[in-house]
Amino acid sequence: MLLLAVLLMAALLPGPLLASTPRLTALNAQANGPLSTLSLTLSEPVTYHVFALANPDRIVIDLPEMQLTSRNLPRDTGLIGTVRTGRPSAGSSRLVIECTEPVTVAATQLRPTQQGRSHILTVSLRSAKSRSDSGLAAVIPPTTTGRYAATGWTAPPPRRPPGEVRSDSLLPVRKVVALDPGHGGHDPGAMTPSGLMEKAITLATARELRRELEAIGGYRVILTRNRDTFIALRDRIAIARKAGADVMVSIHANKLDNPSIRGLSVYTLSENASDAEAAALAESENKADVISHLDLRGATPEVTNILIDLAQRETMNSSSRLASLVVDRVGRDGPLLVRPHRFAGFAVLKAPDVPSILVELGFISNKEDATTLASADGRRKLVRALARGIDAYFARVEMANSR
């Protein structure tokens, strides 16, 4: 009887007195002169962290884990292009505002509504080009952490003077991931009679995978192409290396005459291809940047061959670990080709200092695979699995480095 009474009392307690996950009940955007403001209606006061990223320009709002009860995400309002949500880690939530141009955070405020039943967090943005406008509120530093107290909004003193939006290089970034959507421009790749083209599938998948990795948090993701244009194979490697990529993931889709074959596969560089590429690199006229942080100018042919071979074999080992983890994560609830980890001499796999894999997402010659790859909804589970595989790889690398 005592237990029943306790349960009844708990059921009668008002919601706020019971432990619950905060709710984000509404998201609204408004443009007013030089300011664009995103308003979040929350079920209760929360701690939050606001910071800016560049390339592309975006504002990130980190929050505790919460339920998103509103599915209407604002877009195309002043400086605010699109808003997306994510969960970078257990117990946390994230909103990312994709901006139409570089911005600064003009003001943030967390306040209760007049009825006191909910709270509103506002994040106001202004163009970074208009910093000299004196009529605006004082700029709060691009990285802002706050909480709601009984007397209102409080923020810690700035760690540095107000200034421009921080670039990615000044923020805690775990690793750089280069995504390489295959084909493009005059090269459509594989095609189906209905007009489904590999180049469109690979670009859409790369964009979705970039969003998924950014939602996990801590990754800077670059695309070797972000529109329907042709990029030579060697240029794709050069783009990844110039960006300082820690891994490169080339994305493709397959096609066969046999329509029954389906499933994802992942390729890494074969041993024979590696030997041939090392020899070709050793004969390169410009040896200054064959391997990052290693100048081979003046080295004897024997030393050059040994160093390139050692670097490429280490890269191949890392590539194989990445491939194995991607195969594992995709295979947990998705179709895989027989022997899904394969080896070949694809040109995009031959960077001697960037672990690289080539992912064949499936077969557009297969009805089930083609249906999956033709739509964002169909690709969603696959993209999430790819992101989990990449994230697991970096977790292993960090664990090994910490020993």
Q: Say how far apart CA 29 and CA 73 lie, in whole Å.
A: 9
- Which is more confident, 206 or 82? 206
Q: Say how far apart CA 383 and CA 205 lie, in whole Å.
A: 7
Sheet holding 336-344, edge to edge: 219-223, 175-181, 247-254, 356-363, 264-269, 336-344
Identify whether the C-beta of residue 67 lies closer than 8 Å to the C-beta of residue 25.
no
In sequence order, what are the residues at sequence separation of 6 or more whose Cβ sits closer than 8 angstroms to the Cβ of residue 348? 180, 233, 236, 237, 248, 250, 356, 358
What CATH number should be reported for the domain whose range is 20-167?
Answer: 2.60.40.3500
Residue 309's pLDDT is what?
59
pLDDT in tens, 352-386: 788 999 999 999 999 999 999 999 888 999 999 99
For the segment 234-252, the average pLDDT, to the nearest whole number, is 92
Max mean pLDDT among 15-24, 109-118, 144-153, 315-324 falls in 315-324
Going by pLDDT thresholds of 50, 70 and 90, the confidence category of residue 402 is low
Q: Cα 192–196–202 angle (5° rounding)?
A: 120
Alpha-helical segments (H) within 332-341 = none
Mean pLDDT, rounded, of the chain: 76
Taking each continuous run of H as one helix and of E as one strand, the counts in the chain are 7, 18
Closest residue by Cα to residue 209 from 377, 397, 385, 16: 385
Residue 37 tokens read as 């403001």
200-214, 216-230, 273-287: least confident range: 273-287
For the segment 238-243, the average pLDDT, to the nearest whole number, is 90
Closest residue by Cα to residue 210 from 236, 176, 185, 240: 176
The secondary structure of residue 130, as a DSSP letter, is: G
| Domain segments of the chain as ranges | 20-167, 173-401
For the segment 198-227, the average pLDDT, to the nearest whole number, is 93
pLDDT at 285 over 70: no
pLDDT at 307 over 70: no
Closest residue by Cα to residue 61 from 49, 77, 45: 49
What topology does CATH give the domain 173-401? Answer: Aminopeptidase (3.40.630)
51-65, 85-99, 169-183, 335-349: least confident range: 169-183
pLDDT at 230 over 90: yes
pLDDT at 217 over 60: yes
- Give 183-200 as a DSSP string: -BTTB--SB-TT--BHHH
Half-sphere exposure of 120 (CA within 13 A, CB side): 14
Closest residue by Cα to residue 86 from 202, 208, 178, 175: 208
Residue 143's pLDDT is what?
43
Residue 7 tokens read as 């349960």
pLDDT at 152 over 50: no
pLDDT at 14 over 70: no
Going by pLDDT thresholds of 50, 70 and 90, the confidence category of residue 310 is low
Going by pLDDT thresholds of 50, 70 and 90, the confidence category of residue 197 is very high
